[in-house]
Structure 1
């Protein structure tokens, strides 16, 4: 009986010692004695809203220095718009320190996402999309290929003073572009760079021959392009190499 009483007494003593520690760690007591009073932000915030950041962290700071759950706070910050990476630390005696790296937007991706300069896709919900970003689209696994063709296309059309507003790759592997003047360019799925290079070289000459804006160019032809001019009733074909004999001397032989 004495042994049992001694065990119970030791158990009660351990509980009485441990309970205050558990209470402090869980924020049951001590939040008012060891409060987190200062929010320190590292990193230049250009797009993350400071007031929203403070509101996001306030529930975690209220738990006090010992009870604040840093990983939960970090996850909450990481969910904010424009946040690429976040770290949350505490500094004695009363500082909650946050380090944020923002996404740097490179392009719009599809309808509801943005592509960062680091090649990461992130949601555009709740974000004021910066003006002038190109529109890119394609399967998520082909981000690098889409960006590569966009950069190459810009270099091809730049000597003519023509910009590239968008590049898209569909699920069948077919490419389309939108030029700065609003021209839709259908490239197709094969020899995309060869076709674009040939078209870019001849485009200034083609534009100089017409007073109408070029609405659409279909490059999926063996010997030339099918061009649709704004206000024209039907597409016209322009040959780049001598075409096979056809009515009117125009080639309509196509390839995909």
Structure 2
């Protein structure tokens, strides 16, 4: 075979290779376009609330203060979305924004249902007048609801909620087992403690030795109760003894 014939054969082979390459590129492009169209169609269907609506929402968890109407408002935007496009994190945030909801969890259940579990705040005390403390000593704001039990009134610096609650529980237990009921407790900006019993007696406890001072009050109270006047205040901010304020504003020293 001459060099000329060899050259012609090589050119034919190169043309065939170019044709196969072009065919392969065109086929690949067609496949990619097909996949893109399918993905767009699938995305449209998955985000179509009419095609894949959320048909049911199941709400579980003990609820005392959160009403169905509040939950419906929180889920209003969700119900306009499809089962797959609904953002469960967004739904969770919307539910936890409700004043009496402490925690919410949301999950999808095939084919068209959402399951929601709510944990409500458990108030244990009023805090600074218009707020509440929960069982963890955390401050939260919520409107007053029917059915909330009588709770103690605690006050103090905003960041001291947990500390005031812990002190209330300790002092309250000591007083309770001795026949008293601690109704309110406050911590001043200078960290002095003031307590009030349900019988109206106010206790000035100062900054230190709160438990020992309350124990001193418990020990001496039977003597005070024998008097013919009602005790108004008992100042326990002394190393020994105490000062008593009576309803007529007269004071007597008791040692």
- Shorter-chain TM-score tier: 0.7 to 0.9
Counterpart CA distance in 1 for 2:178 and 2:222 is 7
| Equivalences, count | 234
Tell me by how many angstroms 1:172 deviates: 1.9
Tell me, in whole angstroms, the C-alpha distance in 1 between the residues paired with 2:113 and 2:28. 42
1:85–1:102 contact (8 Å) kept in structure 2: yes
Summarize the alignment of residues 140-155 of structure 1 with structure 2, pairs less than 5 Å apart.
Answer: 140-155=158-173
Check 1:75–1:168 CA distance in 2 against 1; reply closer, same or farther (3 A cut).
same
Q: Choose from 89, 114, 127 the match for 2:132.
A: 114
2:48 to 30, 33, 44: 30
Matched, 1:238 2:250: no
Residues 191-236 of structure 1 deviation map (CA, whole Å, 9 limit, x = unaligned): 2221111012212321221333x2222211233222222233xx41
Listed as ranges, the matches of 1:86-165 within 5 Å are 86-125=104-143, 127=145, 130-165=148-183
CA distance in 1, matches of 2:39, 2:144: 46
86-95 vs 138-147, which moves further: 138-147
2:89 maps to 1:71? yes
1:24–1:66 CA contact under 8 A, matched in 2? no
What is the aligned partner in structure 2 of residue 18 from structure 1?
Answer: 39
- Which sections of structure 2, spanning at least 5 residues, go unmatched? 1-21
151, 158, 166: which one aligns with 2:184: 166
- Structure 1 unaligned residues grouped into runs of 5+: 241-256
User: Are residues 33 and 94 of structure 1, via their aligned partners in 2, closer, same or farther at CA, if it must alter by over 3 Å?
Assistant: same
Secondary structure of 1:147's partner? helix
Larger Rg belongs to: 2
Of 226, 243, 252, 2:243 maps to 226
Please state whether the residue corresponding to 1:58 is helix, strand or coil: coil
Distance in 2 of aligned mates of 1:176 and 1:126? 25
* Distance in 2 between residues matched to 1:128 and 1:79, nearest whole Å: 20
- CA distance in 1 between counterparts of 2:172 and 2:144 reads 30
Cα distance per residue 1:164-202 (max 9 Å; x no partner)? 011122232211101112222111112222111101221
- The alignment's C-alpha RMSD in Å is 2.7
Whole-Å separation in 1 of the counterparts to 2:196 and 2:130: 19
User: Which digits, 9 at most, give the CA deviation of each residue in 1:103-129, with x for residues without a partner?
Assistant: 211111222321122333221346558
TM-score when normalising by structure 1: 0.79
The structure richer in helix per residue is: 2
Q: 1:225 to 1:137 in 2, by over 3 A?
A: same
2:229 paired residue number: 211
Report the Cα distance in structure 2 between the residues aligned to 1:91 and 1:79, rounded to whole angstroms. Answer: 23
Q: How many Å apart are 1:16 and its aligned residue?
A: 2.2
Farther-moved stretch of structure 1 (143-152 vs 65-74):
143-152
Pair 222,118 (structure 1): closer, same or farther in 2 beyond 3 Å: closer
